[in-house]
Structure 1
Amino acid sequence: MNNLSIGSKNFARDLTKLALFSAIIFVLGTTPFGFIPLGAFKIVTIHIPVIIGSIMLGPKKGAFLGFVFGLSSFTMANVQPNLTSYFFSPIISGNLFSLVVCFVPRILVGIIPYYVFKFLKKYININVSLIITGLIGSLVNTVFVLGFIYIFFAEKYAEILNATLDNLITVILASVGVNATLEALASSILVLAICKALFKNTKV
């Protein structure tokens, strides 16, 4: 089989995976399946296929999957608005920085994990590399979303949280700390399990 034929098959295979990951992300992002209830908390899982797609398909396709993640957030912010929809939709906020909050962190979730995993697997066990990559990928989403909200919409977020600008960071950490921790742990476990299964038929 010539190289052109192999390249065409690899391209078709990756395109199929990209379409599958995109569909999964959009379904998770626009249905309750993207939020796992755990007692008083809800664990967001939408970012997990983006992290896995980044590891498996590379940063460019990962960035596209991150865009799909952002698009699903934008869609739901407008279709089913809630208190935080203000930060994800310029239609609601009247501020284009809402697009930065909505899309940039999600696109970074599709880029950063690839490089984290690529670096870690050179030096440590592949399982540990996947666990750390899943953890970091989840935190990228949390940290950048909250960071951008704080930078662009601090007053509005303080109003929603019934806080003052002086204690806003403390209130944010207290209100999302448990969720962020649980999401990062869930991401680590699922990224490890799913990637290990996918690696069986893929040369890493």
Structure 2
Amino acid sequence: MPNTSSTTRKLVITAVLIAISIVLSIPLNMGPFISLGFIVIGPTIAITIMHVPAIIGAILEGPLVGLVVGGAFGLFSLFLASQQPAGSPNAIFVDPIISVVPRLFIGPVAWAIYVGLKALGMQVRLISSAIAGTLTNTLLVIGAIALRLNVPFLATLASVSVNVALELIVAAIIVVAVVSALRGAASGRSGSSV
């Protein structure tokens, strides 16, 4: 049975990461920011970091926390989609197979990679986990869209390939920075590398 302080820590980290996921998802429509977690760069490129809290939660506290944070992200995206007009491109996310189910796997996959690469250096593990979690989000959401809307998977994936490449880089930078800072603070060595 886990001790009380460990359980409390898990609950607090889960709640904070869910709150961050929600804040990242709230529509802003200010300049290049559709939301804090969805940034438009030019006419055809948009990147998201809304999935990153699920990756961080899994690395810090395990696959269940990653699953819960990813599920909350998915539920909130479903809620936001339900508020969109019928013809909106985001209206497809009202389908939980597209908006929720893929997001449940972000954290557990990132955690499995993080744990599976324990023989490697910490930064390699963090970067690999960020990449795995990001690809999980992208591939499963695009796969669900292809399945539910009967559109070609590879053509859809190709249409967002530049976005995905940028998301992989940004997610890796954020995960390394945040996890390193939190681990450094937790060990009393602010700024130490992980």
- TM tier, smaller: 0.7 to 0.9
Q: Tell me how far 1:84 sits from its aligned partner.
A: 3.0
Q: 1:34-58 deviations in whole A, cap 9, x for unaligned?
A: 1123233221010011110111111
Q: What is the distance in 1 between the residues matched to 2:148 and 2:107?
A: 23
CA deviation map 1:156-203 (0-9, x unaligned): xx5xxxxxxxxx44532332111111111111111111111112216x
Other-structure match for 1:26: 22
Structure with the bigger percentage of helix: 1
- Which of 144, 147, 151 aligns to 1:148? It is 144
Q: Unpaired runs of 5+ in structure 2?
A: 28-34, 188-193
Q: Which residue of 2 aligns with 1:53?
A: 57
1:115 partnered with 2:118: no
Normalising by structure 2, we get a TM-score of: 0.84
User: Using CA pairs below 8 Å that are at least 6 residues apart, which structure has the higher relative contact order?
Assistant: 1
Partner residue, 2:31: none
User: How far apart, in 2, do the equivalents of 1:112 and 1:71 lie?
Assistant: 19
TM-score between both structures, scaled by the size of structure 1: 0.80
Counterpart of 2:92 in structure 1: which amino acid?
F
Which runs of no fewer than 5 residues in structure 1 stay unpaired?
Answer: 90-97, 159-167
Give the alignment of 1:28-107 within 5 angstroms: 28-31=24-27, 32-40=35-43, 41-81=45-85, 83-89=88-94, 98-107=95-104
In 2, are the aligned partners of 1:117 and 1:130 still within 8 Å (CA)? yes
Q: Number of paired residues?
A: 179
- The RMSD of aligned alpha carbons is 2.1
Q: Is the 8 A contact 2:10 2:65 kept in 1?
A: no
- Opposite residue 123 of structure 1, the aligned amino acid is A
